[in-house]
Amino acid sequence: MEERYKILITGPFSSGKTTFIQTLSDTEFVATEEILSTGAEGEKKYTTVGIDFGKIIISEDLSIYLFGTPGQERFDFIWEDQINGSIAIMIMVDRSDFSSVMGAKNFVKFYTSRTNVPIIIVANKSDLPSVISMEGMKQYFEPIVDCKIVECVGRDKASAKDALYTVFFEVILNQPVSPE
């Protein structure tokens, strides 16, 4: 019988959650995107309004499901609902966007105080010019939460997988008793 586990992919608007899930998914990707109702937030034309969904097949009897939340705060009731059953939370941040990094702080605070599952900050879009340095990211987030910050290019499969492996390591390390 297949075991199924869930990793929550969250983060501010336009941080690359949908693309990240799409890149990693081994099966047909399910998106819940709608045309943006306002043009105020950059060039992005579509935004997630429900749950994006992808599946990673680890072995024949184990699959990891990736659930992407909407980034806008008006959907925060979904953020809370989705914590249940998650083995880890990845907070995506557009490292090239100052407001995305600031916005991620709210996500970090939101999840830190609500769950003890591992939280990993994914410094996404690292291939873009003029990104915030990893040192700067560390300085900004370190006082709020002890967690890994990984560089990532979400549309690159190898890079996205590296970020995912970091999550797997954190899941193992987070267990209170070392398993045999």
Which residue ranges make up the site for other proteins (CB under 8 A)?
3, 5, 58-59, 61-62, 87, 96-99, 101-102, 105, 109, 112-113, 115-117, 130-133, 136-137, 139-140, 143-146, 165, 168-169, 171-172, 174-177, 179-180
Nearer to other proteins, 27 or 139 (CB): 139
Shortest distance, position 144 Cβ to other proteins, whole Å = 7
Shortest distance, position 4 Cβ to other proteins, whole Å = 10
Nearer to other proteins, 36 or 87 (CB): 87
Shortest distance, position 32 Cβ to other proteins, whole Å = 26
SS3 per-residue string spanning 35-95: ECCCCCCCCCCEEECCCEEEEEEEECCEEEEEEECCCCHHHHHHHHHHHCCEEEEEEEEEC
Shortest distance, position 76 Cβ to other proteins, whole Å = 10
Number of other CB atoms surrounding residue 151 within 10 Å: 17
- The residues, any chain, with a CB within 8 Å of residue 75's CB and separated by 6 or more, are 49, 69
* Cα Dmax for the chain: 53
Nearer to other proteins, 31 or 171 (CB): 171
Return the structure tokens found at 79: 């953020």
Nearer to other proteins, 27 or 172 (CB): 172
